[in-house]
Structure 1
Amino acid sequence: MKAPEQYDPSKSTSKSSMSPPSIQPSAKSPAIPVGTPTITQTHKRTAQAEKKPFAWQFLLPKYWGIWLLFAISLPMIYLPLRWQFWLGRKVGILIYKVTGSRRRDTLINLKLAFPEKPEVERELMAKQVFVNQGIGVFETLCAWFRPNVFTRTVSISGLQHLVNAQKEGRPVILLGAHYTMLDLGGLFCAQFFPLDCMYRTQNNPLLDWFIYNGRTNIFGTQISSRDMRGLVNSIKSKHVIWYSPDQDYGLKQGVVAPFFGVPAATITASRRMAKLGSKDKPPAVMALHTYRQTPDNLPRGKRPHYHLTITPELDNYPSNNEIADATRVNELLEGLIRIDATQWMWFHRRFKNGPDGRTGIYK
């Protein structure tokens, strides 16, 4: 089984790309840096989130396509991981070839973010984004329905930052990003600490039902982006909350700040969240990075390895300048994304809103 041509970030001609972290998985347990505080009993999750009820409207013909996709995909998650990764690569390449608009959007984004790279290198990057996303589909389904398949495949660094904040009785806001690992990153986090997550309701009710219920096995509470009361309750309860501010939601709730050197609409919700805690024990804001390390072809018996990175707490955040705060968050996330830029979802229209509007660039 020959793997598709793959973009290798370590061979990039750009000096702006960061090298992947050095990962040395343990054969017996997750690799945690020496000196990391032990998670106490108070950090452990104590309740199972309630699932959304099934609606009979989900049996209508307009939902049959989703049912068919799940019927085809779910049995495949019981294949060996190396087979799933091979299938994921094939699915990713297929989607890259048949979805012209997504491919075009990805190439436009990469050209804006990496103008110094040759066009052929950006094309390889774009293809690898879809390959990683194809693998991510199987990873997410396994995270929902077969989580034990990833036992002893993850290491973590920076956990002490989160644990120390929790020991001080402070809530934690983890600034994530839309990596192609999707919910597998949440599953790995849950091996070390319980966490809630912010989410946007899907436009398709059946897809939303599948995603929400799949995540109940991972997250403690799923907080709708419109549920301010739920967010306040989680912060007052000193929970860890995963929030991803890396997409373009327009300028009604955001400002223009540079992202990969491009002026882009940047949501400022994280700084508002950081103001919701008590004055004496405000939320600690830090970033989370999830990274997949796999060989091009997983040989028989070889397991993938994943690494989580939690950055130190942002000091003096939020400040009195929302543009400076947005720029700071973008720079933090950009530095993490550059570890392997192809593991981030470049097919979203990240730069559609700018200082003078630029929706037309995607047409």
Structure 2
Amino acid sequence: MTKTLLAQQPPSYYAAGIHEVIRVAEILAIGEALEQALALLQGGDVVAIPTETVYGLAADATNGIGVARIFEAKGRPRFNPLIAHVADMAMAERIAVFDPLSKKLAQAFWPGPLTLVLPQRPGNGIHPLVTAGLDTIALRMPRGFGGDLIAKLGRPLAAPSANSSGRISATTAQAVAADLGARIKLVVDGGATPVGLESTIVKAEGQGLRLLRPGGIAAEEIEAAIGMELLRGGGVGVEAPGMLASHYAPAAAMRLNAGAVGKDEALLGFGGQRAEGWRNAAAFLNLSVSGDLREAASNLFAYMQELDSSGARTIAVEKIPVDGLGEAINDRLARAAAPRDNARPTT
């Protein structure tokens, strides 16, 4: 008999007392958190904050101690750069040099889930740990609490996703606390993030723009805004956050485009057509019963976390279309399924 998990509920093992999560971080609602978050950032500490994409682990991007604490809390490879988040275009232009195409995109999509990789402006004050030694910087302008916090601080925030490095990105304050609660002091609770996927990342190259990472804004929307197709492929090395081959991974192994469900596998579904044997899955969640890619994107990380908590050794994933936001969803799933040495053991 398949156990259908409800994403808004904690995994069943909490109630059973099988596993205890020690939470040190304080969780405060947005309306109560601004001053405490600001004090931590000014003191060189980190704060987990909600954005429209996923929760971010933020530090003052000009403070080396704070940025180092991001890497420490996440266990993140030092060569993986971070996104710097800004409050407005004036702050962005003090940090980076904008070409006409990138400026056009900023005007069209900021604030929002778009990250632009741009040449750094000399003397911008950004700590080298943020850019991992690159001469470029990834910039984004978030909506809501993140933007307000940056404006109050007066300096950009480095803020990768608020999760252990390589693991599933957090889309609720509770998911952040369960993962990083023993390593950080404050999680700002803004509810479930509306987009549920990290930002789309693009970089100007010559007279065109290259898609480095699909994300919360579909490539087609960007192409419509600039009147040309995005370049794809051809990049060398890690040019921006989220480009490691293995990333966003649960402890369980992942199997994509599944037409059937194997023994002891959990199933991540999409739409109305089920994989063969789905009723016998160890656990089942459907990203979107109606086949809505935006709903699927919003649910992706939370549902992966829920299925991972079921104890299944493998999560089988039904086929998901690659058009629109499906491109970003499939990108995250491919990285989650990439070979790694830390999948859930078989014994």
- Structure with the largest fraction of helix: 1
TM, length-normalised to structure 1? 0.24
The structure with higher relative contact order (CA 8 Å, sep 6+) is 1
TM, length-normalised to structure 2? 0.25
- Structure with the largest fraction of strand: 2
